[in-house]
Chain A
């Protein structure tokens, strides 16, 4: 059967699972993750690539899923917040956000946690300035950022 107009046949690897999808050609990766794959942990925030709430990891690098078409990530490994914990065991970055008060309403948290993980994978002992620089594209309206910085520092200690 032919792929109808306005649709795209895609093979994506999301959270270590291969998925074959027929999606609207103009749907963003964010919409496909949330609506076609039911992975609602990734959040809509601004629709403009400004707030970071929709951050996912593409081959380990933080990317804004609201600015990507899914075809752009074919052949890569996409990780969403749902793919970070191993079973019921939280990833150290997640543990540190819980323990250090790195979240309040939690809406920016999935994007923040993934951006922090990507930073720590590259630089396990970042300075405060390096943390601020790496996370400056992720907005939070609740915490004043202090708890998040402490969580990233704690996670760095746990990982190294």
Chain B
């Protein structure tokens, strides 16, 4: 079946409007059931016993006393779940319950299921574990040195190095040799965590030989795959349902211990079982922003045009692999999607330490280098006597071009977001006085990863649209984590079928009922699931139009589909007639990213995307020269969204991204002392309240991407990225000191001011980048500008 050419997009009736999200009423009444709200008859409650040692050998586990606690129904140890797993095929280094070694405070070693949560906790307390403590690895530097005890994992190395990467595109040395000016800087980005309002929760139930898991997961597809491996069950016997989601931000993208354990307990006992993490457990479950130490060297010509860049990163990965290999490459991949860098060298390393494992958080691996790169360019501009905005403009990537590392750029609103945000904020005319400053930065982000996390040739997203007496139902594996995924799908289907989003029934995020979608990560849903939904709904429209055209004796192109009507018939009449003629009314759509959007070298899988979004921010703040306290007055954020599917939801994503960026810039830190999280509670882990959150002026720029659904691109992650460097830049504008370490806390500002007062460098930040045994560079021939022109 062929699809009609896209209709005249000026005639869009639903797409682009500001509409309430489809599940809003269920959320304001409290009737929506999140994972922890699920109650099943005869349900057991499960708790995990977690290590209190950062690093230790498990010598023995005695569970006899736990089994004797009245009300305890099952006790599990690692021997019950011996199969290893992990989100990435190259580092499946986790066990649901560790039985040989624990590698961070919080590593689970046993599980107890009981008639209620308190009894399960009493059971956990009754378990005695004999540990032999090992010397913990607490820093990147320490991880690079061969340990006295054994390394955390035996599959990596040298020392506790997990992953190394070294890539060169073009002749970097020649670029530096020709440069009129070369500058080097070192930066550190302290890690932070997602802090979703909802604690992770999972409930499993067995019926016959089939297991169902409801979980607060962002990607049921990958959980499904891990469960099949660890439980040794065919995928057809397992169903994973993403429950309505109380916030993800990347923190619910890995398969987790508690998800596997509840399935195993349900299989052992035949009873439903739930495990909900406490807030403290959520902090230790983590998978959040990596701490990254960065070194960057850039050479420019006399006009400030970049000739070469060399970027080094060292990631503190915590105790397990998680998404680590991807996280590592992401710290190097997207420098080139904002600036045209003709010669680029990237060397990256990720190390294991005895801390909660890091993973993906909003912007995965790219907010850290974005902070470093933008602040570095500010300093470079000052070196060569150029306005920092002008230096950037001279180096902006061009729309429909290809980067030196082979990434295909299509629509690109970089110039426009820059112009709009500078104009709105009055940046050039800003008030210059001590203690007041404005900062500016730009960024870009992917609209979905070009490749799946494990190698497979399935489409990245599939949708089915069924029509019948029950109305329209759309089935898609995509998962609404609060970002508005369901509303995007409903809006797209409504647009094609002449209905309203509220007319579309949705079945999403359910591996048993929906076709595959890889999940809510890498800002992929609007672009990928949106395209799949559009194809499915357009095919359904064609079916209905064909039948109505025959009935009404006209040509299909004369049948209008709008306002709940198909031609002269109501939608319901048309659907009934079509079912009479055609039987079951079902149409499907798929999306697979196009070939050739990235390179063919080792490591080329990270970075390619069917499109990139672009953001620019200006931040206005006051910084107290005495106390170092910062008050952010206003943030302007312009975002190239391609086209907004739902303007209100898009603005909400921008405002939320700015909020999260400010939290990371100013206060949020997942930091440790002796292996313990310094503030594993919402009381101590500071985040912005209503009182600290400034006004945000959101500017949506529409560049109509040629491949996005109706031209749409992502908005969930990109707008966070420029906020952090713009804050650092504004602090420098206000006080004349550079804070090269995030978060920018008052003590760091005071120390930088003190340093300047003593005649030292007016800066706070790391002073040295360690010697890292990077491998030999993989030299990649860059695309020839002529042959790569699109």
A residues engaging B (CB < 8 A)? 34, 38-48, 50-51, 53, 80-82, 84-85, 90, 94, 97-101, 103-110, 113, 131-133, 135-149
Closest A residue to B278 by beta carbon equals A47
Residue among B25, B245, B248, B690 facing the most chain A CB atoms (10 A cut-off): B690
Return the chain A residue nearest B650 by Cβ.
Answer: A101
B660 close to A104 (CB less than 8 A): no
Q: Does B691 contact A (CB under 8 A)?
A: yes
| Contact sample, A vs B, 30 pairs, CB 8 Å cutoff | A34-B37, A40-B37, A41-B30, A43-B34, A44-B199, A45-B197, A45-B279, A45-B682, A46-B681, A46-B682, A48-B279, A48-B682, A50-B682, A94-B25, A98-B20, A98-B24, A98-B28, A99-B20, A100-B648, A103-B28, A104-B652, A104-B656, A105-B196, A106-B24, A106-B28, A110-B30, A139-B687, A144-B652, A144-B657, A147-B648
Question: From DSSP, what is the main secondary structure of chain B's interface residues?
Answer: loop
B68 within 8 A of A: no
Checking B21, B30, B278, B695 against A81 with a beta-carbon cut-off of 8 angstroms, the contacting residue is: B30
A95: nearest chain-B partner, CB-CB? B28
Q: How far is the CA of A21 from the CA of B246 in the complex (A)?
A: 30
Let me know if B689 is at the binding interface, CB within 8 A: yes
Q: In the bound complex, what is the Cα–Cα distance between A106 and B20 (angstroms)?
A: 13
Query: Which residues of chain B come closer than 8 Å to A149, judged between CB atoms?
Result: 690
**Residue of A44, A85, A97 with most chain B CB atoms under a 10 A cut-off:** A44
The 6 A-B residue pairs with the shortest CB-CB distance, nearest first, are A41-B30, A105-B482, A106-B27, A107-B246, A144-B659, A144-B655
- Cβ < 8 Å to A, chain B residues 1-48: 18, 20-21, 23-34, 36-37, 39
**Which residues of B are in contact with A by a Cβ distance under 8 Å?**
18, 20-21, 23-34, 36-37, 39, 194-199, 244-249, 276, 278-279, 481-484, 648-649, 651-652, 655-660, 681-683, 687, 689-691, 693, 695-696
Known A46-B279, A105-B245, A110-B30: A139·B682 in contact at CB below 8 Å? yes
Interchain CB contact under 8 A, B278 and A142: no
Indicate whether A90 sits within 8 Å of B682 (C-beta atoms), given known contacts A101-B20, A131-B690, A141-B195.
no
Query: Within the complex, what minimum Cβ distance (angstroms) separates A156 from chain B?
Result: 16
Task: Identify the closest chain A residue to B646 (Cβ).
Answer: A101
Q: Which residues of A contact B33 (CB under 8 A)?
A: 40
A62 and B24 alpha carbons, distance in the complex (Å): 22
**Chain B contacts of A82 at CB under 8 A?**
29-31
Q: Which residue of A lies closest to B689 (CB)?
A: A136
- In the complex, how many angstroms separate the beta carbon of B698 from the nearest chain A beta carbon? 8
User: Quick one: given A99-B20, A101-B648, A101-B651, are A41 and B197 in contact (CB under 8 Å)?
Assistant: no
- B18, B33, B248, B693, most chain A CB atoms within 10 A: B693
Q: In the bound complex, do residue A106 and residue B482 qualify as a contact, i.e. CB atoms below 8 Å apart? A: yes
Which single member of A39, A109, A131 contacts B27 (CB below 8 Å)? A109
Taking a contact as CB atoms under 8 Å apart, the answer to whether B683 and A50 are in contact is yes
- Using CB atoms, name the residue of chain B closest to A42: B30
Most A CB within 10 A of own CB, among B23, B195, B248, B655:
B655
Which residues of chain B are within 8 angstroms of A142 by Cβ–Cβ distance?
197, 247, 482, 652, 656
Minimum CB–CB distance from A32 to chain B (whole Å) comes to 14
With the chains together, A68 CA to B225 CA distance in Å?
42
Query: In the complex the two chains form, what is the Cα distance from A38 to B656 in whole Å?
Result: 31
Q: What residues on A are CB-neighbors of B687 within 8 Å?
A: 139, 141
Shortest distance between the CB of B478 and any CB in chain A (Å): 15
Closest beta carbon of chain B to A67's beta carbon, Å: 12
Q: Which residues on B sit within 8 Å (CB–CB) of A50?
A: 681-683
Most chain A CB neighbours (cut-off 10 Å) among B28, B29, B198, B687: B28
Docked Cα-Cα span, A101 to B19, in Å, equals 8
**With A42-B30, A85-B29, A101-B652: A136-B690 Cβ-Cβ less than 8 Å:** yes
Extra contacts besides A81-B29, A110-B30, A142-B482 (17): CB < 8 Å: A45-B279, A45-B682, A48-B279, A81-B28, A84-B29, A85-B29, A98-B25, A104-B482, A105-B245, A107-B198, A108-B197, A110-B28, A141-B195, A141-B687, A142-B656, A144-B657, A144-B660
Question: B197–A140 contact, CB under 8 A?
Answer: yes
Q: Look across to chain A and name the residue whose beta carbon is closest to the beta carbon of B484.
A: A104
Residues of B within 8 A of A80 (CB): 30
Nearest Cβ in chain A — how far from B537, in angstroms?
A: 24
* Chain A residues in 8 Å Cβ range of B244: 106
**In the complex, are the beta carbons of B696 and A146 less than 8 A apart?**
yes
In the assembled complex, which residues on chain A have CB atoms less than 8 Å from the CB atom of B276? Answer: 44
Min C-beta distance of A120 to chain B, whole Å: 15
Whether A133 pairs with B691 at a CB distance below 8 angstroms is yes
Question: Which residue of B26, B36, B683 contacts A48 across the interface (Cβ within 8 Å)?
Answer: B683
Within the assembled complex, what's the spacing in Å between the Cα atoms of A100 and B481?
19
Closest A residue by C-beta to B198: A107
Give A120 to B429 CA distance when docked, in angstroms: 40
CB distance from B203 to the nearest CB of A (A): 13
A136 touches B691 (CB 8 A): yes
